[in-house]
């Protein structure tokens, strides 16, 4: 690396005034090196480039003013405060301080010149500033103005704005004399019409007075796009490295099992859709390779991902290998267990079950079967990959609801199944449709297959949005549906009543529904219940022993209940589109026409109205996910437990989505023909070790 980059990568303690204590505080902001200060962009800017005449100030304005002290007094109106009135010939303003010392009070002698920066507001005696930044001026001294807009940074406890500005100023001085290496090819910068890295950083830390602050606030200024592009590029290349690593590692090439696979498909009580057949072909091709498969299956709720996973298992087992399927909850894992037992009933295959709540004797038997290799397929929760579990010959790992698991966990699972330098093939599934640009950024380490077709006969769920004042009609509809042999869900966002949030509470709704529908068997399930109790209620609902299930969003990822044909969701206007779509997917799994009722509290804003309209008008999970991504961002769409989602300093996956195709092209070019610069870009943004792996 060149010498000037070394200066920027030096520890913060090389800067004037930074000792171990201050360095420790800055580390909370993820600022550890001089270079990190440059990439810590301002939250906003203040205009201190000119002094505003007091006579022209208006409430709501944030500005720099200067004037002569006319009066300074301590008053006790409600609370003790120091009032300082200043004038400049064009007007007057009052400075109000609630926290002040005797020394401060003595600074404001009559006739003293003072400059102040703060928010102008209307007070009882005219315009005022509360706790402005101020400076006492010497006789004849004018208020100091800046030749650039003043940055305002994110601060941490014990580090003031002034100190941060000073440190960033030192970093900028180092950058001026030691320009950071330009790692993007010149023709790429020209094609994208972007400035150099140094020019972009200098502009964003010290914008000229005429800067377009609106475009900066919206994150679409060319200087911001320049930085976002390189950050997205670094993350994308680090994930692509994982794919390249996987292709350099050894896996068992499973070329056999074709006859067993076809026999299994013919044994199913239905025909696979064209989309399922296409994905099965892609998986079979992956499994025949001598490097590990790393494939993501995306499919809407009810699209038949699990049977595709069963096809992959059959192929692995037919080749004499073990397969393992992991689900995030015990209930979902148990559903897979029953499905696979039914599908594999006529085949000479041994299944093993492993979960955290298993009895010691049963667990011991399962562990022995897994270690000996008599268990062909192992199904369970994350307990599958705990230290005490030893596989005999694991060659295929399947992870359901993969958005609950991050990149690091995917890597850990792959390493867990490693045996004699052979890595297992890995198949991950999600029922959360992921828009293409987000998938490109978050899952660049995976090949992607999409099941974009529902099985024949599966009817789309009809969705209607109603104000909650029509709840009695909905209760009557539930009575009618359950009297006809159907089952229903009633979903509430909270468990208990809340004075803060005006949501419907599941426990209160359960009590009211029990009173309103005494003839029905009504159950309650929520996240605070212990897993065994929750699973017991869900099993009773699945077995038809409960007519109406009142639940929180804990059922978002749940079991199949074919007789459930009605879903009511309270306070739908407060929930994310993808979550609502997932909940809606709990019904529509049988032959009866299913319905989803979105109850909302009035008045309904225009944004909430348009969001609910998306669900009312479409059953397309990808369309719903795209709108959710635009409205709420990637973290909410993928779930807060998605630990693998990259944390960006500057880039925004929604705002900068249009950059991703260009990022992809440049990444492939750099990693193919300029590996050194590719590595330096990842080092700049992700640290010395890269984020997830290095080639």
What's the CA gap between 55 and 78, in Å, rounded? 29
Q: What is the pLDDT of residue 634?
A: 61
Q: What is the pLDDT of residue 495?
A: 57
Examine the pLDDT at 490 and tell me if it is beyond 90.
yes
Average pLDDT over residues 144-166: 88
What's the CA gap between 434 and 298, in Å, rounded? 8
Tokens of 537: 């209620």
Backbone phi and psi for residue 454, each to the nearest 5 degrees, phi listed first: -85, 150
The enclosing H or E element of 600 equals strand 595-600
Mean pLDDT estimate for the chain:
86
How does DSSP classify residue 671? H
The enclosing H or E element of 413 equals helix 407-416
What's the CA gap between 174 and 34, in Å, rounded? 9
Examine the pLDDT at 555 and tell me if it is beyond 60.
yes
Examine the pLDDT at 333 and tell me if it is beyond 50.
yes
Q: How many CB atoms lie within 10 A of CB 346?
A: 10
Which pLDDT band, with edges at 50, 70 and 90, does 640 fall under?
Answer: very low
Q: pLDDT digits over 502-535, tens only? A: 555 788 899 999 999 999 999 998 877 887 788 8
Indicate whether this model's pTM tops 0.75: no
What's the CA gap between 157 and 481, in Å, rounded? 58
Q: What is the pLDDT of residue 528?
A: 78
What's the CA gap between 695 and 689, in Å, rounded? 11
Helix (H, G, I), strand (E, B) or coil at 624: helix
Q: Are 553 and 578 in contact (CB under 8 A)?
A: no
What's the CA gap between 86 and 72, in Å, rounded? 9
Q: What is the pLDDT of residue 406?
A: 61
What's the CA gap between 360 and 502, in Å, rounded? 45
359: Cα within 13 Å, side-chain hemisphere:
3
Q: What is the pLDDT of residue 405?
A: 59
Q: What is the pLDDT of residue 607?
A: 78
Tokens of 479: 């009575």
Which pLDDT band, with edges at 50, 70 and 90, does 552 fall under?
Answer: confident
Q: What is the pLDDT of residue 693?
A: 47
Domains belonging to the chain, first-starting first, are 3-45+152-211 (no CATH), 50-145 (2.40.50.140), 256-451 (3.40.50.300), 462-618 (3.40.50.300)
Angle at 230 between CA 225 and CA 232, to 5 degrees: 90
Examine the pLDDT at 691 and tell me if it is beyond 50.
no
String of DSSP letters for 14-40: GSTT--HHHHHHHHTTT--BHHHHHTS
Q: What is the pLDDT of residue 541?
A: 92
What's the CA gap between 110 and 50, in Å, rounded? 25
How does DSSP classify residue 321? -
Q: Are 453 and 303 in contact (CB under 8 A)?
A: yes
Q: What is the pLDDT of residue 338?
A: 86
Examine the pLDDT at 544 and tell me if it is beyond 70.
yes
What's the CA gap between 624 and 622, in Å, rounded? 5
How does DSSP classify residue 51? P
Please report the sign of the dihedral spanned by the C-alpha atoms of residue 376, residue 379, residue 380, residue 385: positive
Which pLDDT band, with edges at 50, 70 and 90, does 418 fall under?
Answer: confident
How does DSSP classify residue 348? -
Q: What is the pLDDT of residue 688?
A: 57
The enclosing H or E element of 120 equals strand 113-123
Which region among 334-338, 439-443, 490-494, 651-655 has the lowest average model confidence (pLDDT)?
Answer: 439-443
Helix (H, G, I), strand (E, B) or coil at 141: coil
Q: What is the pLDDT of residue 692?
A: 46
Backbone phi and psi for residue 331, each to the nearest 5 degrees, phi listed first: -65, -45
Of 605, 637, 597, 677, give the one whose Cα is nearest residue 403. Answer: 637
Alpha helices in 119-221 (DSSP H): 161-177, 186-192, 197-205, 213-217
What's the CA gap between 390 and 367, in Å, rounded? 7
Q: Are 311 and 261 in contact (CB under 8 A)?
A: yes
Which pLDDT band, with edges at 50, 70 and 90, does 501 fall under?
Answer: low
Q: Are 479 and 309 in contact (CB under 8 A)?
A: no
How does DSSP classify residue 250? B
Residues of the chain with pLDDT > 90: what percent?
Answer: 49
Q: Are 351 and 341 in contact (CB under 8 A)?
A: yes
Helix (H, G, I), strand (E, B) or coil at 63: strand
Q: What is the pLDDT of residue 511?
A: 92
Q: pLDDT digits over 247-283, tens only? A: 888 999 999 889 999 999 999 988 999 999 999 999 9
Q: What is the pLDDT of residue 409?
A: 65
Q: pLDDT digits over 184-210, tens only? A: 999 999 988 999 999 999 999 999 999
Q: How many CB atoms lie within 10 A of CB 301?
A: 22
User: Which residue has tokens 């003839």?
Assistant: 519
Examine the pLDDT at 668 and tell me if it is beyond 70.
yes
Angle at 275 between CA 586 and CA 251, to 5 degrees: 100
| Strand bridging mode 294-299 / 425-430 | parallel
Examine the pLDDT at 638 and tell me if it is beyond 60.
no
Query: Which residues are CB-neighbours of 432 under 8 A, at least 6 positions away?
Result: 403, 578, 582, 621, 625, 637, 638, 639
Alpha helices in 268-359 (DSSP H): 274-287, 305-318, 330-343
Q: What is the pLDDT of residue 632?
A: 63
Q: pLDDT digits over 89-129, tens only? A: 999 999 999 989 888 889 999 999 999 999 999 988 899 99
Which residues are 569's β-sheet partners? Answer: 491, 598
Q: pLDDT digits over 349-407, tens only? A: 999 999 888 889 999 999 999 999 999 999 998 888 787 888 999 999 999 875 555 66
């Amino acid at each position: 690396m060149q010498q000037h980059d070394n200066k920027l990568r030096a520890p913060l303690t090389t800067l004037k005034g930074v000792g171990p204590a201050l360095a420790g505080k800055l580390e909370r902001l993820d600022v550890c090196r001089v270079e990190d200060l440059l990439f810590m962009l301002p939250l906003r800017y203040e205009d201190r480039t000119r002094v505003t005449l007091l006579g022209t100030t208006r409430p709501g304005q944030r500005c720099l003013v200067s004037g002569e002290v006319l009066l300074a007094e301590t008053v006790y109106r409600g609370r003790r405060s120091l009032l300082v009135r200043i004038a400049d010939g064009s007007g007057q303003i009052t400075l109000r301080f609630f926290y002040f010392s005797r020394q401060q009070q003595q600074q404001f002698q009559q006739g003293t010149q003072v400059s102040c920066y703060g928010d102008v507001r209307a007070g009882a005696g005219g315009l005022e500033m509360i706790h402005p930044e101020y400076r006492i001026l010497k006789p004849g001294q004018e208020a100091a103005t800046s030749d650039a807009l003043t940055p305002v940074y994110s601060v941490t406890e014990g580090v003031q704005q002034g100190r941060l500005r000073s440190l960033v100023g030192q970093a900028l001085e180092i950058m001026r004399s030691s320009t950071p290496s330009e790692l993007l090819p010149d023709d790429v910068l020209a094609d994208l019409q972007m400035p150099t890295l140094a020019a972009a950083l200098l502009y964003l830390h010290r914008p000229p007075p005429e800067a377009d602050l609106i475009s900066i606030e919206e994150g679409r200024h060319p200087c911001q796009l320049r930085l976002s592009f390189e950050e997205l590029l670094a993350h994308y290349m680090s994930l692509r490295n994982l794919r390249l690593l996987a292709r350099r590692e050894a896996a068992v090439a499973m070329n056999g099992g074709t006859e067993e696979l076809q026999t299994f498909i013919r044994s199913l009580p239905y025909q696979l859709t064209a989309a399922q057949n296409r994905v099965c072909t892609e998986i079979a091709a992956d499994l025949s390779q001598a490097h590990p498969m790393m494939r993501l299956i995306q499919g809407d709720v009810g699209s038949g991902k699990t049977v595709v996973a069963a096809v992959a298992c059959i192929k692995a087992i037919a080749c004499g290998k073990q397969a393992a399927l992991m689900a995030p909850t015990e209930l979902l894992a148990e559903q897979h267990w029953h499905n696979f037992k039914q599908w594999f009933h006529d085949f000479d295959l041994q299944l093993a079950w492993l979960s955290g709540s298993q009895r010691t004797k049963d667990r011991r038997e399962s562990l022995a079967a897994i270690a000996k290799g008599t268990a062909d397929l192992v199904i369970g929760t994350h307990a599958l990959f705990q230290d005490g579990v030893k596989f005999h010959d694991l060659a295929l790992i399947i992870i359901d609801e993969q958005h609950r698991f991050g990149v690091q966990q995917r890597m850990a699972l792959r390493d867990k199944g490693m045996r004699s330098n052979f890595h297992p093939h890995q198949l991950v599934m999600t029922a959360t449709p992921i828009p293409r640009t987000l998938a490109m950024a978050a899952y660049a380490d995976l090949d992607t297959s999409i099941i974009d077709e529902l099985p024949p006969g599966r009817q789309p769920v009809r969705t209607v949005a109603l104000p909650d004042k029509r709840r009695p009609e909905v209760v009557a509809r539930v009575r009618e549906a359950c009297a006809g042999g159907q089952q229903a869900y009633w979903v509430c966002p909270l468990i208990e009543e809340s004075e803060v949030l005006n949501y419907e509470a599941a426990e209160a709704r359960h009590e009211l529904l029990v009173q309103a529908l005494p003839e029905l068997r009504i159950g309650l399930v929520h996240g605070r219940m212990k897993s065994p109790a929750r699973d017991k209620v869900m099993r009773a609902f699945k077995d038809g022993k409960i007519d109406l299930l009142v639940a929180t969003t804990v059922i978002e990822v749940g079991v199949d209940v074919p007789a459930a044909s009605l879903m009511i969701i309270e306070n739908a206007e407060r929930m994310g589109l993808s979550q609502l779509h997932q909940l809606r997917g709990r019904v529509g799994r049988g032959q009866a026409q299913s319905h989803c009722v979105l109850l909302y509290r009035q008045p309904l804003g225009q944004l909430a109205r348009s969001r609910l309209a998306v669900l009312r008008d479409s059953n397309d999970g990808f369309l719903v996910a795209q709108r959710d991504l635009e409205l709420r961002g990637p973290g909410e769409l993928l779930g807060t437990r998605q630990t693998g989602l990259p944390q960006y300093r500057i880039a925004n996956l929604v705002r900068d989505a249009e950059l991703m195709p260009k990022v992809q092209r440049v990444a492939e070019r750099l990693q193919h023909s300029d590996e050194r610069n590719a590595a330096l870009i990842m080092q700049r943004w992700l640290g010395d070790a890269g984020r997830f792996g290095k080639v």
